Chains A and B, each alone.
Chain A
Amino acid sequence: MKEKYPLFQVMGKDGKWQDQTYEKELNEAKVKSLYYHMLRIRTYDQKGVALQRQGRIGTYVPFAGQEAAQVGSALALGEEDWMFPTYRDHGASLAFGADLDMMLLHWNGRIEGCLPSRKKHIMPASIPIATHLPHATGAAMAETYKGSKNATIAYFGDGATSEGDFHEGLNIASVFKAPVVFFNQNNGYAISLPVEKQMNSETIAQKAEAYGIPGIRVDGMDVLAVYIAVQQALDKAKRGEGPTLIEAVTMRFGAHTTADDPSKYRNQDEINQKREVVDPLIRIEKHMKGRHIWDSAWQSSLSEEIGEELDNAISRMENYQKPVVSDMFDYVFEKPTWTIAKQRQQIISRGGRG
């Protein structure tokens, strides 16, 4: 199956062109923007892990290793397209335009963290695995119904392909030719379970065959390849040719979450060694150097700018107004039922911070 679904690469591991067809499209400005977003979410991710360790936020879900997959896919989206991410795809959400402050509040256990971006159609992270795949299908069908040319993208991991909702979301999308891209990040593990024990299929892309839709396997450490693959799938969807399943082969460098101890189920030293070789940020840097579009002064100023942006956002998170107790009651229905009104009253009258 690996021959049938070859790994699509635009640059090799050394960063050199593997496929120069897309050179024009992947011009200096585009590549720099891809790099900027990868650096930004990497820095954000490192801060996230650190904040959790210092007890300044709750459980955090790191995505280091998956920056190319998340940024490449997010930047391929059109302004009006819809994104359905999981808990691990906050990098993609940020790259697409999610509000950084809200994202941080989410890790701080704040309901405000689920507030959608005001600029883009970005759903709050889906926590129950694979449940949002049918949503992406439905939102895509609604775009078709409304006669627009917009598409949707659903993010999910290798483990998610084992849930019924994966099958149901893909099948319905294929039957109705919904303009949706199912973007799988195969990072090798679902918590402790390696992908070889998750499924007996050699690739995830091949699962597309069962639904009669295209399946693409892309090097998820190659941000250029991911960008191109997702863009092509979106174009196809927007032409009315239906859904695509994309498998981005990537790696989760760190723990599943900050509550996880990966040494229980894998050799983390090995991962750390491998990480240095496959790091998607190093790869794009090499590529840029090869094309003489790398400028270290530019890089340091980006890095500084990002650091400052994040530090400011973190301080805003920590100084954010206290949680509002009535928030938990006020949005269950448009108008509260008497039950909720009574309960709300009970707690507010007891000095709840309503």
Chain B
Amino acid sequence: MVMSKELAKTGEKVKTNSFNMIQAINDGLKTVLEKDKRTLLLGEDIGKNGGVFRATDGLQTKFGEQRVMDTPLSEAGFVGTAVGMALNGLKPIVEIQFLGFIYPAFEQIATHVTRTRTRTLGHYHMPMVIRAPYGAGVRSPEIHSDSVEAFFAHMPGIKVVCPSTAYDAKGLLLAAVEDPDPVLFLEPMRLYRGKRYEVPVEEYHIELGKGTMVAQGGDVSIFAWGAMMPIALEAAENMKQQAISCDVIDLRSLYPLDKEIIANSVQKTGRVVIIHEGHETGGIGSEIISIINETSFLYLKAPIEKVTGFDVPVPLFALENDYLPTTDRIEQAILKVYEF
């Protein structure tokens, strides 16, 4: 069992549930709704239907229609509505049904969600969380598979996080809700019903802006997040057969990035592979390289390798596995930096 450090530190026995990611998110939302009267959920099909992935299952029954609102089909409308709510003392948690459908709300996010604090010199702020399932690999229809976290990491004024485990999902969600500023909370669809983790019943937070080292090794540093984590770990595991050991780091937070965890690992290994399913150009991988350049240039022993999605629209599902990074591509990249 992956008993995370945050948990072990307390030294006490903690009550947990064995949850997959979707259950952990549901549990996290329940926790915040119970705890903080200012929180409320908005989105399409999240009430009676419990969300198309069941992330909000049972919450409307428990908390009522005023706190778990089925909105009209109107992303610009309900994100804008959430802005008004946040201005006026509430803490809206918005669900975008799929990240590929966030675009109508892009304007609200780019021009209001992210700027309100600045343009009112801190008089108003936006304690808002926008949740969105993202990513390919589950045979979804067109547009449902986008992985465009980089658009938002580029946008000044919003934090971006992305868990890869059920444990992190709840802890990051609670921290995101607690945060006084807007947070985009990305949920890897592909991992929703994957592995179960021991998820504490009690509230716990995972600090925004902090990555986590999931596997330790000395030869190569692998940076990834979200749906790429399982294949990053698998590739690292396979490389052991060739006596290559890897640090595998789940960045979890895409804005801001965890500069320390990146620098510490790179200064140890000097060899780096970055994995993301978003398009290569302008992707977060380039930002990581920039941090490495700034902090660890002289430690590098090989040019950094990226294994990413391509600069093409995510294809329909017959080709999605050709679009997505694979363990094989990652292993080749590891070998390349190792043998350089």
Instruction: Bits for A311-327, please: 1 = Cβ < 8 Å to B, else 0.
Output: 00000000000010101
Find the A residue at minimum CB distance from B48.
A265
Instruction: Bits for B188-230, please: 1 = Cβ < 8 Å to A, else 0.
Output: 0000000000000000000000000000000000000000000
Instruction: Tell whether, in the assembled complex, residue B70 and residue A197 are in contact, meaning their CB atoms are under 8 Å apart.
Output: yes
The interface residues of chain A lying within 8 Å CB-to-CB of B329 are 350
Interface residues of B in 129-149 (CB under 8 A from A): 139-144
Find the B residue at minimum CB distance from A60.
B141
Does A198 sit within 8 A of B, measured CB to CB? yes
Instruction: Tell whether, in the assembled complex, residue A59 and residue B141 are in contact, meaning their CB atoms are under 8 Å apart.
Output: yes
Find the A residue at minimum CB distance from B47.
A192
The interface residues of chain B lying within 8 Å CB-to-CB of A339 are 280-281, 311
Instruction: Tell whether, in the assembled complex, residue B311 and residue A328 are in contact, meaning their CB atoms are under 8 Å apart.
Output: no
Instruction: Tell whether, in the assembled complex, residue B139 and residue A59 are in contact, meaning their CB atoms are under 8 Å apart.
Output: yes
Tell me, rounded to whole Å, the shortest Cβ–Cβ distance linking A190 to chain B: 5
Does A162 sit within 8 A of B, measured CB to CB? yes
The interface residues of chain B lying within 8 Å CB-to-CB of A332 are 311-313
Q: Dominant SS at the B interface?
A: loop
Does A214 sit within 8 A of B, measured CB to CB? no
Contact with A340, one of B77, B100, B310, B322 (Cβ below 8 angstroms): B310
Complexed CA–CA distance, A259 and B280 (Å): 31
Complexed CA–CA distance, A87 and B101 (Å): 15
Instruction: Tell whether, in the assembled complex, residue A127 and residue B73 are in contact, meaning their CB atoms are under 8 Å apart.
Output: no
Does A165 sit within 8 A of B, measured CB to CB? yes
Contact with B318, one of A111, A128, A190, A265 (Cβ below 8 angstroms): A111
Does B278 sit within 8 A of A, measured CB to CB? no
Instruction: Tell whether, in the assembled complex, residue B322 and residue A347 are in contact, meaning their CB atoms are under 8 Å apart.
Output: yes
Instruction: Tell whether, in the assembled complex, residue A198 and residue B104 are in contact, meaning their CB atoms are under 8 Å apart.
Output: no
Tell me, rounded to whole Å, the shortest Cβ–Cβ distance linking A262 to chain B: 9
Contact of A191 with B44 at beta-carbon distance under 8 Å, contacts A109-B139, A160-B73, A199-B72 already known: yes
Interface residues of B in 268-324 (CB under 8 A from A): 280-281, 310-313, 315-320, 322-323
Does B16 sit within 8 A of A, measured CB to CB? no
The interface residues of chain A lying within 8 Å CB-to-CB of B48 are 192, 264-265
Contact with A323, one of B73, B76, B101, B318 (Cβ below 8 angstroms): B318
Complexed CA–CA distance, A325 and B101 (Å): 26
The interface residues of chain B lying within 8 Å CB-to-CB of A353 are 322
Does B267 sit within 8 A of A, measured CB to CB? no
Instruction: Tell whether, in the assembled complex, residue B319 and residue A192 are in contact, meaning their CB atoms are under 8 Å apart.
Output: no
Does A113 sit within 8 A of B, measured CB to CB? yes
Does A337 sit within 8 A of B, measured CB to CB? yes
Contact of A128 with B319 at beta-carbon distance under 8 Å, contacts A59-B141, A265-B49 already known: no
Tell me, rounded to whole Å, the shortest Cβ–Cβ distance linking A146 to chain B: 30
Contact with B49, one of A110, A163, A192 (Cβ below 8 angstroms): A192
Instruction: Tell whether, in the assembled complex, residue B312 and residue A58 are in contact, meaning their CB atoms are under 8 Å apart.
Output: no
Does A290 sit within 8 A of B, measured CB to CB? no
Does B63 sit within 8 A of A, measured CB to CB? no
Contact of A111 with B315 at beta-carbon distance under 8 Å, contacts A159-B73, A163-B74, A193-B45 already known: yes
Contact of A328 with B317 at beta-carbon distance under 8 Å, contacts A163-B73, A339-B281 already known: no
User: How many CB-defined contacts (below 8 Å) exist between A and B?
Assistant: 119
Does A352 sit within 8 A of B, measured CB to CB? yes
Does B50 sit within 8 A of A, measured CB to CB? yes
Instruction: Tell whether, in the assembled complex, residue A343 and residue B280 are in contact, meaning their CB atoms are under 8 Å apart.
Output: yes
Find the A residue at minimum CB distance from B329.
A350
Instruction: Bits for B60-96, please: 1 = Cβ < 8 Å to A, else 0.
Output: 0000000000101111110000000000000000000
Instruction: Tell whether, in the assembled complex, residue A110 and residue B72 are in contact, meaning their CB atoms are under 8 Å apart.
Output: no
The interface residues of chain A lying within 8 Å CB-to-CB of B140 are 58-59
Instruction: Tell whether, in the assembled complex, residue B310 and residue A343 are in contact, meaning their CB atoms are under 8 Å apart.
Output: yes
Instruction: Tell whether, in the assembled complex, residue B317 and residue A109 are in contact, meaning their CB atoms are under 8 Å apart.
Output: yes
Instruction: Tell whether, in the assembled complex, residue B52 and residue A191 are in contact, meaning their CB atoms are under 8 Å apart.
Output: yes
Contact with B104, one of A109, A163, A192, A259 (Cβ below 8 angstroms): A163
Instruction: Tell whether, in the assembled complex, residue B141 and residue A128 are in contact, meaning their CB atoms are under 8 Å apart.
Output: no
Contact of A109 with B310 at beta-carbon distance under 8 Å, contacts A128-B100, A193-B45 already known: no
The interface residues of chain B lying within 8 Å CB-to-CB of A191 are 44-45, 49, 52
Contact with A329, one of B50, B281, B310, B316 (Cβ below 8 angstroms): B310
Does A129 sit within 8 A of B, measured CB to CB? yes
Tell me, rounded to whole Å, the shortest Cβ–Cβ distance linking A304 to chain B: 32
Instruction: Tell whether, in the assembled complex, residue B49 and residue A264 are in contact, meaning their CB atoms are under 8 Å apart.
Output: yes
Instruction: Tell whether, in the assembled complex, residue B143 and residue A113 are in contact, meaning their CB atoms are under 8 Å apart.
Output: no
Does A206 sit within 8 A of B, measured CB to CB? no
Instruction: Tell whether, in the assembled complex, residue A192 and residue B315 are in contact, meaning their CB atoms are under 8 Å apart.
Output: no
Instruction: Tell whether, in the assembled complex, residue A343 and residue B73 are in contact, meaning their CB atoms are under 8 Å apart.
Output: no
Complexed CA–CA distance, A227 and B281 (Å): 49
Instruction: Tell whether, in the assembled complex, residue B322 and residue A352 are in contact, meaning their CB atoms are under 8 Å apart.
Output: yes
Interface residues of A in 39-89 (CB under 8 A from B): 58-59, 87
Complexed CA–CA distance, A197 and B48 (Å): 12
Does A240 sit within 8 A of B, measured CB to CB? no
Instruction: Bits for A257-272, please: 1 = Cβ < 8 Å to B, else 0.
Output: 0011000110000000
The interface residues of chain B lying within 8 Å CB-to-CB of A198 are 72-73
Contact with B142, one of A127, A129, A259, A329 (Cβ below 8 angstroms): A127
Instruction: Tell whether, in the assembled complex, residue B142 and residue A193 are in contact, meaning their CB atoms are under 8 Å apart.
Output: no
Contact of A193 with B312 at beta-carbon distance under 8 Å, contacts A325-B322, A343-B280 already known: no
Interface residues of A in 295-354 (CB under 8 A from B): 323, 325, 327-329, 332, 337, 339-340, 343-344, 347, 350, 352-353
10 A–B contacts from the bound complex (CB under 8 Å)? A109-B320, A191-B52, A193-B44, A198-B72, A259-B52, A323-B318, A325-B319, A337-B311, A340-B311, A340-B312
A residues near B (Cβ < 8 Å) are 58-59, 87, 106, 108-111, 113-114, 127-129, 159-160, 162-165, 190-193, 197-199, 259-260, 264-265, 323, 325, 327-329, 332, 337, 339-340, 343-344, 347, 350, 352-353
Q: Which 7 A-B pairs have the closest CB atoms?
A: A109-B317, A192-B49, A162-B72, A159-B73, A109-B318, A162-B74, A323-B318
Given contacts A114-B142, A159-B72, 10 further A-B contacts (CB under 8 A): A58-B141, A159-B73, A162-B74, A265-B49, A323-B318, A323-B322, A329-B312, A340-B310, A343-B311, A347-B322
B residues near A (Cβ < 8 Å) are 44-45, 47-50, 52, 70, 72-77, 100-101, 103-104, 139-144, 280-281, 310-313, 315-320, 322-323, 328-329, 332
